[in-house]
Amino acid sequence: MRTWQISGVLDAARARIATARLVAAYGVPPLERTRLSAALSAHLRQCLTKGGTWRLTLNPIARGSGEGRLEVLVTPSREVSAAGQPPWRMTLACPEPDRSPEPGPADDPAALAEALLGADEDTALVLRKLREQEELVAFHREELQQTNQGVVALHAELDAAGRAQREAFAAERKARTEAEEARRRLTFLADASAVLTTPLNHHEILRRLPDLLVPGYAGNVDLWLFETDDDPRGAAAHPAAVTAARTGRPQYAADHPGHLAGVDDHPTSPAHSARPVLCIPLPTRREPLGVLTMSPPGERWDRDDAVMLVELTRRASIAIDNARRYEHNRDIAETLQRALLTELPTPGFLGMAARYLPATQGMNIGGDWYDAFRQPDGSVIAVVGDVTGHGLHAAVMMSQLRTALRAYAVDGGSPGRLLTRLHNFLHNLQPDLYATAVIARFHPDEPTLTWAAAGHPPPVLRGPDGRVTILDAKPGAMLGIPLKQDIADHTVRVAPGTTLALYTDGLVERRARGIDPGIERLAAALGSFGPAELEIDLGGAADGILDPLLSDSERDDDVCLLLCHLRERG
């Protein structure tokens, strides 16, 4: 058993690193390690917010069969426990319970590097798993498209059959009636499929499905979803629904055989109404999502209507599964993006304000980022960057770049040197991914600003006299490209009252006008403020810059703005 006392963020970091290394040594799979690390980090962050002393315990539990469990327990001190805070526990399967590894010193740079690389490897595995899920979603989308094409082809065949049967009056009437009924079903199926596949929210799909079926094809509809807390409202209690869930085949329960195609007849239950019930599972490639239970709008269903209902349920299941996957990926990405928004430092000589606005289209998660932190010599580093692409991959890569920059900055180094190291890091870690960035360094005892850029829009500098300068000295190339480069530093003299604007291209670039007019508009907006406005309300100034530049309601790129204002000496 290992125990760590946690009363501050350094204690929490050391305990988390040691726990991750021990869990890996016990043979816990990478996905389970990643899940543990994310959950433990989130809980320790909550513990630090509440204050007090906490104890983290890692306890391997061996079993006679050779397998075992690892129990991770976080318990509060007596003061926190008296306030009603319960312990937090997570248990993992342990393939090697008898192994007793040593965690090693958490402060050792080699241990920290190993922990960082191990976390990167686990993250890469999670990304591969996510890529597999994305490919599965694409497969289902293609399958649905092929089904719709088959419906259109069948529609054309029915029309041809109707024209061929017009020669005989009696046969023509019968064929026309059958064709109209089939057209009605196919039209309903196509329209209903469009209604169900349009939203990417599975709750909205579940709300729309009963409205589509009642009253035309069902008297009432119940949905029983597995792995949720939703009340099945009696659907799960019906034996036919249980059988459908177990076998994966539609069930028809009535006091008479239904003889419906693809549907098994199920004996009626004395405990339920004698009214017929049709129970259709919601299938996916892995396992059913639940069961759809409905009663007929009249005495019983037409056989073709039953076939159509089974097909509609299959399409609804695909739509629900796709929506859940999308929501899951979106929630992960949004959580990661929110966790990476930096709380700016508050040095006495420098005021800072940042704004981040996600794109209004797509998953709303991109690779734009900002950061600001102090270096050991008292200077402040401000950075704005942009990783190519959108979605979870870009957000994860952005977090790795931000972490790497902070790690490199511990050793000091100028902005150009830091960007050069980031370039090598990205090129070796993700050869097919690129990024741009600009870094500025302010020192409280130096009258100069040092900055460097790599493929990024130029910083905009407003002097104390209101004059605005675009710092367009030659930047380095994009980070990560297959090119060896040493990014140069640039220096400009500054005085109290100077304001620097760092930003991403989403703020200034428009497809119809390019990027240069946008930079000029930014410079004009920054120069329109008086010295007192920037000194007193820098956040308000940031909002005042965004409003005129982002008049468009739709944005297909993220927007990031970071203002740094040298305060007047007191």
Six token digits for residue 47: 């513990």
Residue 449 pLDDT level (bands cut at 50, 70, 90): very high
Q: What is the pLDDT of residues 546-559, one digit of tens each?
A: 988 886 655 567 88
Sign of CA dihedral 210, 214, 217, 223: positive
414 or 219, which is more confident: 414
CA 247/CA 252 separation, integer angstroms: 13
383: nearest Cα among 429, 441, 461, 450: 441
Please state, for a pLDDT cut of 90, what percent of the chain lies above it. Answer: 22
- Of 3.30.565, 3.30.1890, 3.40.140, 2.20.28, the CATH number of 2-107 is 3.30.565
Domain with CATH 3.30.565 in the chain: 2-107
What are the start-end ranges of the H helices in 1-108? 9-25, 30-50, 78-82
10 contacts: CB under 8 Å, gap ≥ 6: none
Q: Which strands make up the sheet holding 2-6, listed edge to edge?
A: 2-6, 54-62, 68-76, 88-94
CA 427/CA 478 separation, integer angstroms: 10
134 burial via Cβ count (<10 Å: 0-12, 13-18, 19+): middle
Task: For 218-252, give the DSSP string.
Answer: -SEEEEEETTS----TTTTTSHHHHHHHHH-S-EE
Using the predicted structure, report yes or no on whether residue 233 has a pLDDT greater than 50: no
To 10 degrees, the CA torsion angle through 444, 445, 448, 453?
A: -50
Residue 222 has a pLDDT of 86
71: nearest Cα among 23, 103, 34, 115: 23
Six token digits for residue 277: 């019930």
460: nearest Cα among 414, 527, 380, 550: 527
Taking every pair of Cα atoms in the chain, the longest distance, rounded to a whole number of angstroms, is 102
Chain mean pLDDT for the chain: 83
SS3 451: strand
Q: Is the peptide bond before 447 cis (omega within 30 degrees of 0)?
A: no
Domain 132-330 part of CATH 3.30.465.10: no
84: nearest Cα among 72, 76, 95, 94: 76
Per residue in 526-559, is it b (16+ CB within 10 Å) or e — as a string?
beebebeebbeebeebbebbbeebeeeeebebbb
Asked if 488 and 475 touch (Cβ cutoff 8 Å), the reply is: no
Please state, for a pLDDT cut of 70, what percent of the chain lies above it. Answer: 85
Domain 341-566 part of CATH 3.60.40.10: yes
Region of poorest pLDDT, from 208-217, 222-231, 449-458, 516-525: 222-231
Residue 423 has a pLDDT of 94
CA 410/CA 422 separation, integer angstroms: 14
CA 193/CA 148 separation, integer angstroms: 9
Domain with CATH 3.60.40.10 in the chain: 341-566
Asked if 39 and 74 touch (Cβ cutoff 8 Å), the reply is: no
352: nearest Cα among 154, 542, 190, 179: 542
Domain with CATH 3.30.450.40 in the chain: 132-330
Residue 496 pLDDT level (bands cut at 50, 70, 90): very high
280 contacts: CB under 8 Å, gap ≥ 6: 244, 250, 291, 292, 293, 294, 309, 310, 313
To 10 degrees, the CA torsion angle through 182, 188, 191, 193?
A: -90
SS3 556: coil
Percentages of the chain per state (helix, strand, coil), in multiples of 5: 45, 20, 35
Six token digits for residue 145: 């498209």
**Mean pLDDT to the nearest integer, 268-282:** 77
Q: CA angle, 151 as apex, 147 and 155 as ends, to 5°?
A: 170
To 10 degrees, the CA torsion angle through 230, 234, 240, 241?
A: -10
Residue 358 pLDDT level (bands cut at 50, 70, 90): confident
